[in-house]
Amino acid sequence: MLYCDLEVDPAREQEMLNHFHNKFAPAGAKFKGFIDVKMLKLRTHIQGYDLPKSVNYRFQLTYENEELRQIWIASKTHAALWPGIENTLTNKNFQVVLFDVV
C-alpha cells in the first residue's frame, strides 16, 4: 500500500476531489492488480509524530503487488491524470511511504 501525505490548497480542494473521483480513481481501477484507491481528509491528529500543519489529505493506493502498481505508475494514463491532483498541492515535496501487507 502506498500512502502520500498531501497539502491540498484549500481553494482548490473541490477541484482536486472532482478530478480524483471522476477521472483518476476510475482510470486506476482499470489496471491489472488494482484493489483500492482512497483520498482521506484529515480530521484530527491524535498522537505520534507531528505532521506538517498544512497536511490535510492522505492518498492511499493498493495494488496486488508492487510490480503491478509500477505498471500503473509508468502508464501514459497515470502521467496524464496525476497532474490533476499534484497541481492542486501547495507543496509538491510530499511524504510517500510504501507498506507491504504481511
In this prediction, residue 53 carries a pLDDT of 84
In this prediction, residue 10 carries a pLDDT of 97
In this prediction, residue 86 carries a pLDDT of 98
pLDDT higher than threshold 90 for residue 4: yes
Residue range 65-85, pLDDT digits in tens: 999 999 999 999 999 999 999
Provide the CATH number for the domain around residue 94. 3.30.70.100
Q: Which helix (H) or strand (E) holds 15?
A: helix 13-19
In this prediction, residue 101 carries a pLDDT of 87
Residue whose cell numbers read 502498481: 69
Q: Please tell me the total count of domains within the chain.
A: 1
Number of H helices and E strands in the chain, helices first, is 5, 4
Is residue 39 in some structural domain?
yes
Is residue 1 in some structural domain?
no
- The percent helix, strand, coil of the chain (3-state, each to 5) is 35, 25, 40
Distance, in Å, from the CA atom of 100 to the CA atom of 62, rounded to the nearest integer, reads 10
Cβ(70)–Cβ(41) below 8 Å: no
11: containing domain:
6-98
Residue range 17-75, pLDDT digits in tens: 999 999 999 999 999 999 999 999 999 988 988 888 899 999 999 999 999 999 999 99
